[in-house]
A and B are shown apart, each in its own frame.
Chain A
Amino acid sequence: MIEVEHLVKSFGDIHAVRDISFNVHKGEIFAFLGPNGAGKTTTIKMLTTLLRPSSGRISIDGLDPVHHQNEVRKRFGIVFQDPSTDDELTAWENMDLHGALYGVPRRVRTERIEKLLRLFELWDRRGHPLKQFSGGMKRRLEIARALLHTPRIIFLDEPTLGLDPQTRNQLWAQVRKLNEEEQVTVFLTTHYMEEAERVSQRIAIIDHGQIVAQGTPAELKAQTSAATLEEAFLALTGSTIRDEGADQFAQMRTMAKMWSRRR
C-alpha cells in the first residue's frame, strides 16, 4: 500500500531523512517510531504530498505523490500532530466541509458522517461548536473526519499526545475496529511504546534520518533481547535526549497555544 525506496530529504545542509526504505502492506497497522527530530514528521509530509522528496521513490496505492497529487490525496486521510479543525464551526459542519472538499456526494456524506460520529461517540454533540470540545473529543473528531472520504490509508501523527489513558484506550479501540471493518491501512507515530506494541502489527524505528530497525514488535524485542518495546527502542536509539530545534513550526505551535489560552 505504501512503498518507499531510498527516500531522501535535505533542507540545505540539514539532512532530515537520509535514504530510508520500507513497505506498508494493505490493511496493516504500521507504527513509525523515533525520538524527537528523527525525521518522522518530514517523512509523513513527503508521503502526504506536503513536501517534495529530494530524491528517492514513493508509491501510495500505486501512485506517485509528486506527480499525482490530487489522486493520492483522495486515497489517504491524515490526523496532524497539531489540531486542524475550525473551532467556530460545529462538529457536523467540520465533517461536512471536509466531505465537500473531498468530493463525497451529499447523500453518502450525510450517512457516513452519522456513522462515524456515532462510532466515535460524538453524535450527541454534533451541533456544538468545537470550541466547547475537550482535547480528546477534538482528536476523535479529527480521526472521524480523516476517515470520512473512505480513504485506503490513514496517517495518525501522534494522535494520543496529551490525552488521558481512558481516552487513549478508547481511541485505539475505535481505530482498530475501523481497520478491521473497512480494511483501512493505518500508519501511525507515537511516543507511547506500549501503545505501539499493543496496536501495531509492524514497526519501523527511525533515528537521525535513518531506519535503524524494522519488524514485528516480537522481532524487535528478540533482536535487542529486550523485555519490552520501550527497552528495545532505547537500545536501538540510545538514551541521550534530543532537543528538537525551535524551528518556525515549533514557534508557531507555541504561539497558537498562547493565543488559544488567551481567548
Chain B
Amino acid sequence: MTAIYMLWLRQLKRYFRSRSRIVASLGQPLLFLLALGFGFGPIFRRAGQGNYIQFLAPGVIGMTILFTAIFSGIELIWDRQFGFLKETLVAPVPRILIMIGRTLGGATVALLQGFIVVIICFVAGFRVHTFSAIPLALLFMALIALLFTALGTAIASVLQDFQGFQLVMNFLVMPIFFLSGALFPLAGLPVVLSVLATIDPLSYGVDGLRAVLSSQAHFGATVDLIVLGALSSIVLVIGARLFSRIQL
C-alpha cells in the first residue's frame, strides 16, 4: 500500500513541479474551444443542432484527459531511459503494485488537467443542467483517465525508445480523438466512420460526459459506463502483464 501511495505521490509531485508543462498542455484545448467552438457555432446552430459550445465542451474535456493520460503512461519510457525504472524494479515490491501506483498517479494527473479544462469551458460559456450531474461526470472523467493511462503504460512497456512514439501518436492517439465524436454528432454518419466511432473507446467517454453534463447522448450513459468499465479492467490487466515482463 505504501508503495502504491509513494509512486502515486511521485507522479503528482512531478506534475505540480512542471508548471510550464501544465500551461503548455492547456493551449490545445483552448484553441479547440476558440477556433472550433466559436468558429463552427453559427453553422451548428443553423443546422438545428443547438449550442455548439454545449456540445463541444465534453469532447474537449475528453480530449485533454486522453492526451494527458496517454502521456503520463508513456512517461514510463522516460523513466526507462533516465534510469529511475531500475530503482523501482529492483525493489522488494511486486511489479503489479508498481504498475498500479504509476497508473493511478498518471490518471490523477490527467483528471486534474481535465478539471482545469472544465473551468475553462465554464468561462467559455458552457453550462451544466443540474449540479447533481457532477459526481457522475467525475466518474466518467476518472474512467477515461484510468483507461488511457493504462493504455499508455501498456504501450510504453513494449516500446524500447522514443522512435515508436510518433507512430503511436499519429496512428493511435490522434485517430482515437478525431474519430470519437468529440467534435461532431455520431448520428447519421457514413457507415465507415460510424463503425470506427463505435469501436473507439473515447466515443463512450465523451458520450457519457455529454449525457450527464449536456443531456445529449448517442449510446446512453449506462452503455457508456459498462463499456468504459469493462475496457479499463481489460487494459489494466494487459498493461500489468506487459509491465511485469519488462526486462532491463
Contacts and interface: CB of A to CB of B under 8 A. Distances in A.
Contact of B248 (A45, A256, A259): A45
A153 to B, nearest CB: 13
A252 interface: yes
Contact of A256 (B2, B6, B83, B90): B83
B160 A85 contact: no
Q: What does DSSP make chain B's interface, helix, strand, loop or mixed?
A: helix
B13 A93 contact: yes
Interface residues of A, number: 36
Interface residues of B, number: 30
A100 B83 contact: no
Contacts of A259: 81-82
B17 interface: yes
A108 interface: no
B17 A83 contact: no
A74 B90 CA distance: 9
Contact of B92 (A87, A102, A251): A102
Given A100-B2, A252-B160, A88 B18 contact: yes
Majority secondary structure, A binding face: helix
B13 A89 contact: yes
B248 A50 contact: yes
Nearest to A94: B87
Interface in B2-50: 2-3, 5-7, 10, 13-14, 17-18
B2 A103 contact: yes
Interface of B: 2-3, 5-7, 10, 13-14, 17-18, 79-94, 160-162, 248
18 contacts: A50-B248, A70-B93, A73-B92, A83-B83, A85-B87, A88-B17, A89-B10, A89-B14, A96-B6, A98-B91, A100-B3, A101-B93, A129-B17, A251-B161, A252-B81, A252-B160, A255-B81, A260-B82
Interface of A: 45, 48-50, 69-71, 73-74, 78, 80, 82-89, 93, 96-98, 100-103, 129, 248-249, 251-252, 255-256, 259-260
Given A251-B161, A260-B82, 7 more contacts: A50-B90, A82-B86, A83-B82, A93-B10, A101-B3, A101-B88, A103-B92
